[in-house]
Amino acid sequence: MPAEVQPSVLKLAQKLGLDIEEQNNFIESLLSGTKAQSAVVITPTAPKDYTPPFSTIPTDNLWGHPSILIPNSQDQKVGSHTDYNQGYYYPLDISSVWETAALNTLHQTPRRCLDLCAAPGGKTILAQTRLHIPLHIANEVHPKRLGILRHNLKRCGFTHLYTQRLRPDQWADQAPESFDLLIVDAPCSGQSLIAKGIKNPGCFNQSVTGGNAKRQKGILLSAIQCLAPGGYLLYSTCTYAPDENEKAMAYILKRNPDIKAIDLPALKSWQSQISDFPCYRLMPHQGVGAGGFCCLLHKEGNTDNLPELSDELLAWPVAQSSITQLDE
Ligand SMILES: C[S@@+](CC[C@H](N)C(=O)[O-])C[C@H]1O[C@@H](n2cnc3c(N)ncnc32)[C@H](O)[C@@H]1O
């Protein structure tokens, strides 16, 4: 075990409600650095009845989707085919697919979605693939990442979506109670990168996880202001730290009695053992990629008519050629 991660990883493993054997499995898988596992989403750009130029298996019935496939051999370089450049499929980590399984459980297709931390676009594409939401704004605060997001959405044929680059607090001011689905795929310490063999120095340090938790709570406090009564918020991260996961959710639930965490029967076997409300953690030794966390929140009430959105908020349809042009 590399010296720099040893004590903090051990400490983390002890906090996760795992028995000793599972703690050891977790640490071993994490430090193996071999848990990257990709999936591909077949996009609207692909021809009818398209099959990728590599062999695939379907995703699990419980948390997958017919348009999301797993390359049979993980040695496949899925990004090296012309079909990838054509946008016929979008590759992402299989844990991301698992993290959006909650969207399959919504009783009605949301009318409007705000995807607050959207670049490079994986969750946006997964949400559209699962739900075909009529009005979907993919928001990204980081200008360079916004460009990548727009490029990916356009290439893959999601041209009816909109993009934006507002901070979460600006959204709270400009679009209160305006969305019946919020997706917060939060910036996090990214501990699961280690399980993929990617260096991420300091990701287990309390100062790093604590700093991320603070930012996540801020984003979430703004996000819930944008949520219409009766709406849902999907929160996810790609880290294992309870501060950024269960504790961030507990913080929101405690301050908002009208918001509840929803049971997700499809993810029952991954239910977190360290919270008294339903939320789900995927660990690298469980065979579905490097791991992550998700929780679906529901705000009580219902809204027949969502408030109108201003023209500025809808100023950047993906179909429009470039943001630079729009800025001029
Ligand atoms: C985990 S990544 C999102 C991944 C994306 N949802 C996907 O599936 O491809 C988190 C994103 O949040 C953005 N971000 C960073 N700080 C933020 C903040 N304070 N408020 C909102 N977004 C932030 C980052 O630029 C990053 O693109």
Residue 300 neighbours by CB distance under 10 Å: 12
Q: What is the mean pLDDT of the chain?
A: 94
* Ligand 1 pocket check for 121: Cβ under 6 Å: yes
| Domain-located, residue 292 | yes
| Domain-located, residue 145 | yes
Range name among 178-192, 239-253, 274-288, 312-326 with the lowest pLDDT average: 312-326
Query: Measured between alpha carbons, how far is 139 from 124 in angstroms, rounded to an integer?
Result: 10
* Ligand 1 pocket check for 145: Cβ under 6 Å: yes
Residues 85, 142: contact at Cβ < 8 Å?
no
**Distance between Cα 21 and ligand 1 center (Å):** 34
For residues 183-204, give the mean pLDDT.
96
pLDDT range class, residue 60, cuts 50, 70, 90: confident
250 burial level (CB within 10 Å; 0-12, 13-18, 19+): middle
pLDDT range class, residue 107, cuts 50, 70, 90: confident
pLDDT reading at 5 higher than 60: no
HEC-encoded secondary structure of 84-138: HHCCCEEEEEHHHHHHCHHHHHCCCCCCEEEECCCCCCHHHHHHHHHHCCCEEEE
**Distance between Cα 45 and ligand 1 center (Å):** 25
| Domain-located, residue 152 | yes
**Distance between Cα 156 and ligand 1 center (Å):** 20
What is the reported pLDDT for 26? 95
Q: Name 39's Cβ contacts closer than 8 Å, sequence gap at least 6.
A: 59, 68, 69, 70, 71, 91, 92, 93, 94, 96, 97
| Domain-located, residue 232 | yes
* Ligand 1 pocket check for 220: Cβ under 6 Å: no
| Domain-located, residue 276 | yes
Query: Measured between alpha carbons, how far is 293 from 260 in angstroms, rounded to an integer?
Result: 17
Nearest to 179 by CA among 213, 217, 230: 230
Q: How many domains does the chain have?
A: 1
Residue of minimum CA distance from atom 25 in ligand 1: 142
pLDDT reading at 325 higher than 50: no
What is the reported pLDDT for 328? 34
> The CATH number of the domain where 286 resides is what?
3.40.50.150
**Distance between Cα 252 and ligand 1 center (Å):** 19
Residues 37, 74: contact at Cβ < 8 Å?
yes
| From 141, 153, 165, 293, mutation site for ligand 1 pocket: most ligand atoms within 8 A of C-beta | 141
| Domain-located, residue 159 | yes
* Ligand 1 pocket check for 123: Cβ under 6 Å: yes
Residue of minimum CA distance from atom 6 in ligand 1: 118
Residues 109, 177: contact at Cβ < 8 Å?
no
Residue 216, phi then psi, degrees to nearest 5: -65, -40
Per the structure, the complete domain to which residue 240 belongs is given by 94-299
What is the reported pLDDT for 323? 57
| Domain-located, residue 161 | yes
Taking the CA of residue 125 as reference, the ligand 1 atom at the shortest distance is 8
- What whole-number percentage of the chain has pLDDT above 70? 96
| Domain-located, residue 193 | yes
pLDDT range class, residue 322, cuts 50, 70, 90: low
